[in-house]
Structure 1
Amino acid sequence: MDLRPATFPNRTPPMSQIDLQDIWLQAVAHFEREELPEAEALCIKLVERAPERPLAYTMLSRICHAVGLTREATFNAFSASQRCANESAEDILVVATTLLEVNEQQLAHAVLGFIDPANAANADYLLDLGRLYSVLEDQGNALRCIRAARASGRDGAFIAHMESIVLSFLGPIDASIAACEESVAKAPGYGHAHWSCAQYGRKDGAHARIARMQAALQGPDVDVDDTTYLNYGLFKEFDTLGETDQAWNALMAGAQARRSVTEHDAAQETAAYDALIEATSDCFFDICGNVPRDATPVFVVGMPRTGTTLLERILGNHPQIKTCGELNDFRQQMQWANNQRLSLNLDPGIGDFVARLDPHIVGNRYLIKTRWIAEGNALYVDKHPMNFQWCGAILKAIPHAKIIHLRRHPLDSCFSNLKELFAHKYYPYSYALDELATHYRNYARLMRHWHAIAPGRILDVRYEDLVSNPELQARRVQDYLGLPSVEGVTDILANKTVTTTASTLQLRQPIHTRNVGGWRRYAAGMAPVAERLVDLISDYESDLALAAA
């Protein structure tokens, strides 16, 4: 979001307003040129002259965030949040965005409440307001803002697509499809909307959707982003029709396009996992967090697209459990404890980072920061798959925490990641077959390490067992959590909680086994992955056979 408001707002005498605005514009210019010390000095001057205004604090937060100072970034974002009353919608949106950068979701949601969507003066900001509400998992307010924006005449392909996405979370699906088709009609070259239209799994009209995506790929203005979305959309349509050769070709084209703009170093990832394992071996649990035990977080971990959301839905049907979605809080509190920002792609410095963590600070801050979303429940679920990287740190910081690890056949795990177009910069290993196999091997050996240093503390649940005998697996999970077994928890259609993960459309049908072995239809294409994971595949299939015997 642009940092520059129309004017730098303040309540100082008129003669000072010009000076403040000039200082602010200079600060913005320095920030945009990445001249951070100069921008910081000017922001400090603004705080001294107009301490009641929020924007200088937001820039100070972003400067601190950019240089990795998590505590100072959080403090300045908090300071901005305390100065939002009577500010413009434009400036409040800047504050909320800054709060999201430091994972202060509760505060971000609170400051958005200062914006009145019904005020005509705020009409130009309703789309951004709706987008932020959606990011904050408040899909009801997101939809109201989007529809208010459209009613006020702010319309087009992008906003129709936004409405479609939110409706895909909330339902009804027919309305979501209609909004998505409207978006494509308004902008035939808009790749993201084409991709969304393909996700509903409809055979009716598939050939027509394929033809229009192929035509869009030939457009004069198609960019890498459009190319990526259009090819992933073609994969989905061809896959639904069972035309696997065309589907695979489209998938590889889409993955290649996304990989061309994605930063990932498989060797660096391997070195990072080596360092993480080395740093968490001998005596790692000698000193653990001293934390209150009135609430127990349940971490559901694993690779994405391996059944984590399905298990979360089952858990959410238990009356003593609150599900909270994919939280970033544990990672954020580690960053706060060390006052060091982590990159999305781990590097070998992660070993020293984890070794320096104060488990008391991390554990207590995590429990405090998640209290609002747990809503007083004794058990609550944090379903961020990538928390598998932090199982050791979790058990050290919160000794009574529960961790449930979803496992899935290596090739089904890899194929499910390969065919999913994740948000840009997330899961960057998933767009090249060799990097995908390397990541799976790293993930598998890290999980073996956690089991070795914390035997019996992590419950493994196989996806294949979960979908073939959900009642038995639900009882295993409830026993592990120390809960009475409740009948009917596997009826995921009874769970009306909104989910915004990639599984949102799949969860509108009962549990089934159709996706077990889904990689086999693309066995030829997946052969390079299979060759790199021969031993892990053999071990997994042996375990499945033993369990079935």
Structure 2
Amino acid sequence: MTQTSSIERQIQQRLQQADVNGAIALADQHLAGATDAEKPPLLYLKAVAQRIAGALTDAHATLDDLLTRLPEHARGHQEKGYLFKAQGQCKAAAWHFYRACQSNPALLSSWRELKTLYQAQDNDTALMMATEQVNYLGQLPPPLLGALDLMFEGQLSQADQVCRRYLQQHKHDPQGLIILAQIAVRRKALLEAEFILDSCVALDPENQQARSDLAGVLAKLGRFAEALEHIEQLLVAQPDNPHYLTARATAWVGVGRIEDAILAYQQLIAAAPERAGLKVLLGHAYKALGRTADAIKAYQQAIACEPTFGDAYWSLANMKTYRFDDQQLAQMAHTASGELSLEDSIPLQFAMGKGWEDKREYDRAFSCYAKGNRLKRQNSGFAIQAIEQQVERTIAACDKQLFERHKGAGTDAPDPIFVVGLPRAGSTLLEQILSSHSQVDGTMELHHVLAQASRLGQKAPGYPENLREIQTDLFARFGQQYLEQTRAYRQQAPLFVDKMPNNFLHVGLIHLMLPNATIIDARRDPMACCFSGFKQLFGEGQEFTYDLDDIARYYKAYQRLMQHWDEVLPGKVLRVQHEEVIDDLEGQVRRLLAHCKLPFESGCLTFYETQRAIKTPSAEQVRQPIYRSGMQQWRNFASHLEPLLVHFNGAGADA
């Protein structure tokens, strides 16, 4: 029990004893010496006491202070709702109760208030949503409702403990298993979530929520073909369910059936034109096919439908070739100055950063990038030390003796070409060049090696240390599983590209599973690469990019590990420097193809003419000829990049 939590208990006790003035005085006493991190819970309790005391104006001021510090504080918004309700301002009350439920969907009290308010407003659609949530949360056993509350408040360890204690007494309870899996997803333990949900579906095959959540986890793992199998089963029971139809369309994009997905999205939008999110998904599908004008139109329609929809603005900015005009930037700035959820504020800040950078307003651009990154990072829980320790453990475990001991392990297939490195290092360009060859299929950032590493990590003594203890013949099984699981993403070519950048951590495992696979290291100037990552909002993962010091340390850890692979597996990895590709395209293409044991084809030089689906942020850029404009963009922001300059001295690539 920390000192702060002890103080909170004392304030709560005074509230329970109806000593509201004493509660306010105690909160004020400790607020005077509290750190910024300690103030939010004290401000919240003070506001509760002020409301009970009838000091509504003071309570509003206290909550304004709290919500300025933490705009997504769920109970802070709930308190605001109570205040406005007490003052007869029902519309404002409903808005804050809704914000509370957005931040923490387990707040049953806020849902009940919304249900009452929506009934009075004759808002049937919103009333149905609130009623469903009240019914769902109301039927949950108190421990599971408590676990959900803790999960949405970010207290994942406590949520996990509460849920597991409940399941010890109620084994195989489907709702308990589903919530435990949801907590695992929040902890980024996706394989654990898959196992829990798979078990739940096996025990209760008709449980729609468990199967739907399982499909969602498989999609997060990039295993869209498996996700589709579950979605199709869900649609047998509910063929018109819009959630399942949307999930199927998204999975179709994942397996390359993009034309089918576009048709499905269009049909869903026709049935529910108010769903801005569908229009963004449609835009993503168009973008993957290179239908730029259609993608832009879809994103703009999403903004017209929902003017505060941050993801729609970022989707436009993420086209890279799109430019916001002055009127759009003014609209975005006005939107950003209003009340926004964190979910909308973050992508809007990144989009404005891109807009101002295109206008050469570099200080304004960096201010937006910095704010977006700060908001994104504050709840990520990322610790760069964990990556640095993982690299050191990998270097210690994957020595020359390991590969000598398992010489001849793995499956002989030469099919995969792995492109590894850091995001924004030019890997999409290399994939596009390779995929322009008649003998190579482009796929996507496949998660299968990461999943294998994660599975091994669940076995003592942990990964990568247990690579020393695995029987040699098992590596061939791992390799064969990888080939089977990735087959759904391939066409007919004998070779295919897997461009998951994070696979640089697992080059040793790849070599043991697939000794004849090709590995390419996409390397870019550290200043250019790190800053490009910093101004990119990634859909999933890559949490290291949201802080300049973190990304610099990550880059250096990556360099250190790639040097180790060169030492223990000499000649295995071909390093391709992005700047050298730009300076000497043909020479580097010939070098790249030779390493892949492929004959030269001139189509690889006109890679921008190759028609295929591309799902990464560089999709529009690699559909154009080579250009040099991005090589030195970081210099426009040099005055803000001290954390990078300290690590790299503003130097070029250290290959």
TM-score relative to the length of structure 2: 0.68
Partners of 1:63 and 1:432 in 2: CA distance: 26
Do the aligned partners of 2:200 and 2:210 also contact (CA within 8 Å) in 1?
A: no
Q: 1:325 to 1:528 in 2, by over 3 A?
A: same
Distance (whole Å) between structure 2 residues aligned to residue 41 and residue 102 of structure 1: 31
Q: 1:484 corresponds to which residue?
A: 599
Report the counterpart of residue 395 of structure 1 in structure 2.
511
How much does 1:429 deviate?
Answer: 1.6
Q: 1:36 aligns with which of 156, 164, 181?
A: 164
| Contact 2:144-2:176 within 8 A present in 1 as well | no
Q: CA deviation at 1:403?
A: 0.4
What is the SS of the residue equivalent to 1:155? coil
Could you tell me which of 349, 373, 385 is aligned with 1:231?
A: 349
The equivalent residue for 2:432 is 313
CA distance in 2, matches of 1:525, 1:350: 38
Instruction: Show the counterpart of 1:256.
Output: 374
Residue 528 (structure 1) shift: 2.9
* Greater shift in the superposed pair: 190-199 or 446-455: 190-199
CA contact (8 A) 2:316 2:322 kept: no
Match of 1:505 in 2: 620
Q: Deviations over 1:57-76 (max 9, x none)?
A: 97897799889795994596
Superposition map of 1:143-182 within 5 A: 143-153=262-272, 155-182=274-301
Q: Is the Cα–Cα contact under 8 Å of residues 446 and 499 in structure 2 kept in the other structure?
A: yes
Distance 1:366 1:60, change over 3 A: farther
Q: Which residue does the alignment assign to 2:465?
A: 352
Shift in Å, 1:101: 5.6
Q: Is the 8 A contact 1:71 1:339 kept in 2?
A: no
Structure 2 residue identity aligned to 1:428: E
* 1:18-64 deviations in Å (ceiling 9; x for gaps): xxx9xx97697698464236448756478xxxxxxxx9997897799
Deviations 1:175-231 (A, max 9, x none): 222221222222222222222233345676521111111101111x31333222122
Q: Count residues with an aligned counterpart.
A: 503
- Partner residue of 2:445? 326
Tell me the amino acid that sits aligned with residue 537 of structure 2.
L
Q: Aligned with 2:326: secondary structure?
A: helix
Partner of 1:537: 651
- 1: CA distance between counterparts of 2:207 and 2:173? 22
Secondary structure (helix, strand or coil) at the match of 1:445 reads: helix
1:438 to 528, 553, 557: 553
SS in structure 2 of the partner of residue 286 of structure 1: helix
Question: Is the Cα contact below 8 Å between 1:299 and 1:403 reproduced in 2?
Answer: yes
Q: Please list the CA deviations of residues 378-417 of structure 1 after superposition, one character each: whole Å capped at 9, or x if unmatched.
A: 3221110111111122112221121011111111111111
Aligned to 1:283, what secondary structure does the other structure show?
Answer: helix
One-letter code of the match for 2:621? Q
- 1:179-328 equivalences under 5 Å are 179-201=298-320, 206-219=325-338, 221-288=339-406, 290-328=409-447
Alignment of 1:46-195 (within 5 A): 70=191, 73-74=194-195, 77=198, 80=201, 93-100=212-219, 104-114=223-233, 121-123=240-242, 125-153=244-272, 155-195=274-314
Q: Please give the secondary structure, in 2, of the residue aligned with 1:370.
A: helix
Q: Any unmatched runs of 5+ in structure 2?
A: 1-104, 106-135, 149-158
Contact 1:406–1:462 (CA<8 Å) still a contact in 2? yes
Closer, same or farther: CA 478–95 of 1 in aligned 2, 3 Å: same
Measure how far apart 1:419 and its partner are: 1.2
- Give the distance between the partners of 1:419 and 1:60, measured in 2 at CA: 34
User: 2:193 and 2:348 mapped to 1: Cα distance?
Assistant: 41
Equivalents in 2 of 1:267, 1:60: separation in Å? 27
> Is this contact kept in 2: 1:337–1:357, CA < 8 A?
no
CA contact (8 A) 1:31 1:39 kept: no
Q: Give the structure 2 partner of residue 14 of structure 1.
A: none
CA distance in 2, matches of 1:508, 1:435: 31
CA–CA separation in structure 1 for the residues paired with 2:180 and 2:343: 32
Distance (Å, rounded) in 1 between the aligned partners of 2:425 and 2:521: 10
User: Does the CA contact (< 8 Å) of 2:411 and 2:515 recur in 1?
Assistant: no
Counterpart residue identity of residue 420, structure 1: Q
The structure-2 alpha-carbon separation of the partners of 1:330 and 1:141, relative to structure 1 and needing over 3 Å to count, comes to same
CA distance in 2, matches of 1:292, 1:523: 48
- Aligned partner of 2:523 in structure 1 is 407
Residue 564 (structure 2) aligns with: 449
Q: Secondary structure of 1:515's match? A: coil
Flag the 1:56–1:287 CA change in 2: closer, same or farther, 3 A. Answer: farther
Tell me: CA distance 1:471–1:325, structure 2 relative to 1, closer, same or farther (3 Å).
same
Amino acid at match of 2:516: H
Identical counterparts, % of pairs: 24
Once the two structures are overlaid, the 10-residue window that deviates more, 195-204 or 448-457, is 195-204
Q: Is residue 585 of structure 2 the alignment partner of residue 466 of structure 1?
A: no
In structure 1, what is the equivalent of residue 95 of structure 2? none
Offset, 1:127:
3.1
Quick one: distance in 1 between partners of 2:376 and 2:495? 39
User: Structure 1, unaligned stretches of length 5 or more?
Assistant: 3-20, 47-54, 342-347, 544-549
Quick check: which one's helix share is greater? 2
Return the offset for 1:460. 0.8
Amino acid at match of 2:275: G
| Contact residue 201 and residue 240 of structure 1 kept, 8 A | no
Q: Work out the CA distance in 2 between the residues paired with 1:354 and 1:333.
A: 12
Say if 1:305 and 1:417, in contact at 8 Å, map to a contact too: yes
Q: Quick one: structure 1 residues 516 and 104, their matched pair in 2 at CA, closer, same or farther if it must change by over 3 Å? A: closer
CA deviation vs aligned residue, 1:99-155 (integer Å, no higher than 9, x gap)? 4466643222233344669x8733464334334444555433332222111222353
Aligned partners of 2:526 and 2:653 also within 8 Å: no
For residues 68 and 206 of structure 1, do their structure 2 counterparts lie closer, same or farther at Cα, with a shift above 3 Å needed? closer
- Superposed displacement of residue 295, structure 1: 4.0
Tell me the distance in 2 between the aligned counterparts of 1:496 and 1:422. 24
After TM superposition, give the deviation of residue 537 of structure 1 in Å.
3.3
Match of 1:384?
A: 500
User: For residues 139 and 88 of structure 1, do their structure 2 counterparts lie closer, same or farther at Cα, with a shift above 3 Å needed?
Assistant: farther
Give the secondary structure class of the aligned counterpart of 2:446.
coil
Residue 458 of structure 1 deviates from its aligned partner by 0.7
Looking at structure 2, the residues matched to 181 and 471 of structure 1 have their Cα atoms a distance apart, in angstroms, of: 39
Query: Is the 1:93–1:129 Cα contact (8 Å) retained in structure 2?
Result: no
Alpha-carbon shift at residue 512 of structure 1 (Å): 1.8
